[in-house]
Amino acid sequence: MDCPDCGAATVTFAVPDGLDEFDEPAAALCTRCLALHSVQESDPNPDFTAVSDAFPTGAAAVPMALAVGLLDSLVLHRETVEMLLERVEQAGTDPLLVIDRLANDPTLDPKTDLATRRRQVAQLRD
């Protein structure tokens, strides 16, 4: 699937149970603008390095992808983003460092100002 916002490729993945923000069983994260979209089908082995080399792998990958995609509406999704970032930490990855690296990745053109969102998320977590 291509991103409806910018036309770039996306990485599709299954959405874990218990996330009320998604009525669909799967989501797609754009490899350029980092927009998150609901989809019907997912890739059983999503490759998040297609987004960026800075993206975590393993258990941290899906919660990080969802959190990054929800940063554009942090006010609406604050609790969910906090919960997702906790899952990323529990998987052994520093989510704020990932956001920093994504914000500085020259191959990305995020629709959200990640540097600003990173500061806001850090303030929420203090």
Q: Per-residue pLDDT averaged across 64-89, rounded?
A: 93
- Percent of the residues in the chain that have a pLDDT greater than 90, as a whole number: 83
pLDDT of residue 20: 60
What is the pTM assigned to this prediction?
0.94
Alpha carbon distances (Å) from 102 to 25, 40, 51: 26, 26, 9
Q: Are 6 and 109 in contact (CB under 8 A)?
A: yes
Residue of 92, 90, 71, 80 whose CA lies nearest to 18: 80
pLDDT of residue 21: 66
- The span from the CA of 60 to the CA of 30, in Å, is 17
Q: Per-residue pLDDT averaged across 45-56, rounded?
A: 96
> Would you say residue 91 has pLDDT above 80?
yes
The secondary structure of the chain in percent helix, strand, coil, rounded to multiples of 5, reads 40, 15, 45
**DSSP 8-state secondary structure symbol assigned to residue 15:** P
